[in-house]
Amino acid sequence: MRTKIVAGNWKMNLDVEASKKLAMDISTDIQNLETNNTRIIIAPTFTNLYPVINLVGMDTRIEIAAQNMHQAKSGAYTGEIAADMIQSIGVNTVILGHSERRTYFNETDKALAEKVNTALQNRMDVIFCFGEVLEDRQQNNHFSIVEIQLKKALFHLKPQDWKHIILAYEPVWAIGTGETATPEQAQEMHAFIRNLLSAKFGENVAQEVSILYGGSVKPANAKEIFSKPDVDGGLIGGAALHSQDFTALIQAIQ
Ligand code: PGA
């Protein structure tokens, strides 16, 4: 059975005290929830990873992820963070390829393929994000755009690597806009992605990979989106910054 996942991407929000409070609130709020077969992941900013892990590290239901990392092992890359550094504080999951990284920091498919390789060499789990912009969808290019993004960054992998990959389909037009893909649009794309994986890596891989939907997921729309057969959870931005909303999303996937 595929793992269900609710992952919160805190982006560039919250200082250290606010991050600790939110992590603690989530830990408390999920105490009485049935969270079997659900991975709960939160991704604070780099400076807040260590304080948060120190605080809720004992809560085995909550995993901590980084929002990015550099592909090189170490070196003259001012302002960047390497996989070893992230792992040295106990973080073993990283979000890669978020559309904000692609758009504002010019992350290319090639760089992302390298980052994925580095993460896998370090035995980290990757939440790999991709998705089309509005124009692509309006011109009916969304399937081919998604296919290209996946092929360029992930199709060199071996079938066994996919144990460490979580996919996050995030149509860019739905991120932080309040506009969500309809459950049908999400399901259609997720099924398309699973077919691509099946053709390239075999049906076993395709059936085992968790595919998350991201883009304005909120308590009000989550249940319907999560109920679709190929939607295995969500990557959540805005609603992940409020413990009650985030907890409601975890409830919605049960
Ligand atoms: P949003 O962000 O939920 O605020 O739309 C999702 C994301 O960027 O992962």
The closest of 63, 45, 61 to 53, measured between CA atoms, is 63
Q: Report the distance separating Cα 142 and Cα 135, nearest Å.
A: 9
pLDDT digits (tens, 9 = 90+) for 49-79: 999 999 998 888 999 999 999 999 999 999 9
> Residue 179 pLDDT more than 90?
no
Which ligand 1 atom is the nearest neighbour of the CA of 129? 9
- The mean of the pLDDT values for the chain is 96
Q: Which residues line ligand 1 (CB under 6 A)?
A: 9, 170, 175-176, 214-217, 235-239
Q: Report the distance separating Cα 88 and Cα 74, nearest Å.
A: 13
CB 206 within 8 A of CB 197: yes
Q: pTM of the full predicted structure?
A: 0.97
- In the annotation, is 170 catalytic? yes
- Amino acid found at 133: V
Pocket probe mutation, ligand 1, options 12, 13, 177, 217, max atoms within 8 Å of Cβ: 217
Q: Whose CA is nearest to atom 2 of ligand 1?
A: 237
Cα 202 to averaged position of ligand 1 atoms, centre (Å): 30
CATH class of the structural domain 4-252? alpha beta
- In the annotation, is 132 catalytic? no
Cα 171 to averaged position of ligand 1 atoms, centre (Å): 10
Look-up of token digits 């929002």: 67
What pLDDT, on the 0 to 100 scale, is given for residue 3?
95
- Amino acid found at 218: K
User: What is the mean predicted confidence (pLDDT) over 134-161?
Assistant: 97
Which ligand 1 atom is the nearest neighbour of the CA of 99? 8
Cα 215 to averaged position of ligand 1 atoms, centre (Å): 5
Domain boundaries, the chain: 4-252
